[in-house]
Structure formats: structure tokens, C-alpha cells
Chain A
Amino acid sequence: MRPRPRAPAVIAALLSIPALLAVSGAVALEQGDRRSGIAFASPQTQAMQADDTANPGMLWVMDGAQLWRRPDGAAGKACQECHGDAAQSMKGVAPRYPDFDAGLGRPVDLSGRINLCRVRHQRAAPLAHEGSEMLALTAFVAFQSRGLPMAPAADARLAPFRAEGRRLFEQRMGQLDLSCANCHDDHWSARLGGSPVTQAQPNAYPLYRLEWQALGSLQRRMRNCMAGVRAEPFAYDAADYIDLELYLAARAAGLPMETPGVRP
């Protein structure tokens, strides 16, 4: 049922072992147990993700390719003018995010990095987190790493934020008093109603959910679960989400990136 990893992905996975060792001690899900969400999806959904002409997320990737070349902001610069060909410069970037930003003194995720680039270098307004342009750009950048293993940054400055992410992951929330870990660490092979619980792996974002009829971010997905346990979701771009994303990335180390993923 699971797509077989391609040879380059395996080699890249071996090369990233030191990084994995640096962060894997801090997670509750054993390396050998890790399963991408696509492994739980129906054969039809798996086929839709695997075929670029059927995968609706590719429309956002193509939009992102346009935006990459479009000059923007007071500086009148396009991403491409500094970063060049994304197929070269962005390959391997998404798998290590969230990463530390020295200016902010805290981690940023891929969309946060894009907005910092816009403000600092393009002198443009930041894009809305769940707006179509941000989704297109993050999809395009992450797509350049499709097939590469998640390789979270081993920067020691990230450790306290990752630990806070784990605390949030294991904190019981909402009227139903459930933590992320209650389902996604302890019962990931079970069914909730008719749906597989899954491991809450972040390796395919932004991804197209048939339920949303749209591409959406990992933060949008976390908001869904928080609303599900009847908790007040964090605001988009809240530090809590970045910390959770950091922990999820460490927990996913080694899984191949699938952006743009397709899920039910």
C-alpha cells in the first residue's frame, strides 16, 4: 500500500542520519514506526497524490512558480533575483524547517521565512497565512524537496522551542480533555468513527484535503483538531503553532516529503 521510497531518497536518508540522531531523542514515536498519512489513505487517494496530472495541489505549485518570478514590494525584486532557480536553491530547504531566525531570536516556519524575506528584502507587505499566494509559494518551495527525507535542523537554539512543542502536543485540551498524543502517539493505528487516526505527520504540507476542497497549511489542520476537541484554536502564526511544527518535524525525521500531498 505504501509508495516505495526511491533510491535517491534512501541515500539522502542515510546522509541525514547525524541530524536525525541529534533530534530523535526528544520524540515519543520510534523511527521504525513512522508512517506518512498517505499510508492510511484509500488507494484512490494515494493514486490522486501520485499522479501530477490528477493531484489538485499541483495547481498551487504552478501558481507558486509564477509568484517566484514576479517582482514585488518597494524593492521591486522577485524571489528569483536573489535565489535563482528554485529547483536548485530550494531543494532540501523545506525538510529542515522550522528553522531558527537570529533576528527574531526564535524559530520560524516556511511561511514565516517567506514573510521575513518579503519584509526584509522585497520591502513588501507580509502575505496572509492561509491566503492563496502564501499557500502557492510554500507549496512551490516545498515541492522542490519532494522525495527528500524530513531532516529537522539540529541547531541547539531550537531545543527549548521543540520541547515546548512536545509539551503542547502532550497537553490535554478542550472540553473533551484530549491531547494530540492521546490519539496520534498512542492510538494511531485505530479508527475514529470511520476514519483512520494516523500519526499526524507533517511531511506533505501544504496539502490538498478533499474535505476542504482546497490546499491548506499544517496550522489549518491543527486548528481542525483543536476545534474537534472543543478547544479554542491558537491564532494563525502563533508561536505555539511554530513550536508544535518543530516537534512534529523532529517526530517525522526520515519520512519522505510529499508536498503537495492529497488527503481525504
Chain B
Amino acid sequence: MRAAALTAGLLAGLLLAWLLLAGFLLVGFLLVAARADAQTLVGYTVEGDAIGAPLTGAPGDAARGAGLVADRTLSLCVLCHSGLEAPAHMQGNLAPSLAGIGARLSEGQIRLRIVNMKALNPESIMPAYGGSSPGARVANAWRGKPILSGEEIEDIVAYLSSLKG
């Protein structure tokens, strides 16, 4: 009887260990899968030359967007574009001025141009901020990540749409 109880206990312990291991493996797999998903913003629909629907539930904040476009290390917008709220001597001219962009393009058109300009012009030098078009040898710190989050893109869309010229 004692031996049978011991065997049953051992078997139960072994089963528990296997379950734990399988659980860890499953969680690990899900984490990896989540990282892979993080590479691009998912769940948006392109209609014509626009993404009509916002990327997030909450509307973007134009004031936060104004700060973001002037950020020289995160969004980098001001390195190439002028017409933004930033000191004139810090604004680049590699790309068109964004002065009055809100009068020329709809919110949805602006949104697609930020998320993936290359959908409209594969030769464009504008990075796809939604993360769909990284180049070779992406550095570790940035691998598998979009350049900006959906919230940040919505803030910038709100700000640029307010630039009516």
C-alpha cells in the first residue's frame, strides 16, 4: 500500500512538473507571438489614399501632437519638414513644408501618409511610422517595433489637421 501511494505521488508530481513546463512554454510562445505582432500596427483599413478610421479609440490630442512633431529624437518630423511649431533654424527641407497641410489633405489622408507613405510612393524617403517597412540591419533597440505608437500617430494627425494655413 505504501509503495502504491508513493508511486501515485511520484506520478502526480511528475504530471504537475510537465504541466508547469508546458505552461511556461505556452506563455513564452505567446510572448514571442506578441512581439512579432508589435512590429506593425494592425487592424487598420486603407481606402483609396487614406485610412479613414482612427487607429485608437480615443481622439488624438493636437497639443501633444505639436510637441511630438518638434521632437528631434522620437518622431524626427522636424528634421525633414518645415512649417511646424519649432525654431525656424532647426527645421529641415528634405521634404515638403507642412504649413497648411490640414487644408490640403483630409485626416484620413494624413493618417495613411504617416502610417505608411510607401503605400503611395515606394520610393519615398519618409519612414513608415506604423513599422511596415524597416530597412536592413535594424538595431536591437528598435527591432520589431513601430516608430510611433497608434496613440502618438493620432496626436500628430490631430495637430497636422489643425494646420489650415
Contacts and interface: CB of A to CB of B under 8 A. Distances in A.
Are the chains A and B members of one assembly? yes
Interface of A: 171-179, 182-183, 186-187, 190-194, 197, 226-227, 229-232
| A-B residue pairs, 7 tightest by C-beta | A172-B135, A177-B135, A175-B142, A173-B135, A231-B137, A176-B127, A193-B79
Interface stretch (B57-65, B87-95, B100-108): B87-95
A173 B93 CA distance: 21
Contacts of A231: 135-139
B129 to A, nearest CB: 10
Given A175-B127, A193-B72, A194-B89, A187 B138 contact: no
Given A182-B125, A190-B93, A192-B94, A175 B80 contact: no
B125 A232 contact: no
B76 to A, nearest CB: 8
Contacts of B143: 175
B124 to A, nearest CB: 9
**A173, A177, A231: most-surrounded residue (chain B CB, <10 A):** A177
Interface string B125-164: 1011001011111111111010100000000000000000
Contacts of A227: 139
A127 to B, nearest CB: 27
Interface of B: 72, 76, 78-80, 89-94, 125, 127-128, 131, 133-143, 145, 147
Contacts of B139: 174-175, 227, 230-232
A193 B135 contact: no
A54 B144 CA distance: 47
A157 B136 CA distance: 27
Contacts of A179: 135
Contacts of A178: 125, 127, 135
20 contacts: A174-B136, A175-B134, A175-B135, A175-B142, A175-B145, A175-B147, A176-B127, A177-B128, A177-B135, A178-B135, A183-B94, A190-B93, A191-B93, A193-B72, A193-B90, A230-B138, A231-B138, A231-B139, A232-B138, A232-B140
B53 to A, nearest CB: 25
Contacts of B131: 175
Contacts of A226: 137
Contacts of B127: 175-178
A190 B138 contact: no
Contacts of A183: 94, 125
A177 B133 contact: yes
B90 A194 contact: yes
A238 to B, nearest CB: 12
A225 to B, nearest CB: 12
A46 B92 CA distance: 23
Given A175-B135, A193-B92, 15 more contacts: A174-B136, A174-B139, A175-B143, A176-B76, A176-B135, A177-B128, A178-B125, A178-B135, A182-B125, A183-B94, A186-B125, A193-B79, A194-B91, A226-B137, A230-B142
Contacts of B133: 177
Contacts of B140: 232
Given A192-B80, A193-B91, A171 B142 contact: no
Nearest to A230: B142
A232 B137 contact: yes
A40 to B, nearest CB: 14
Contacts of A190: 92-94
B112 to A, nearest CB: 17
**B79, B89, B128, B137: most-surrounded residue (chain A CB, <10 A):** B137
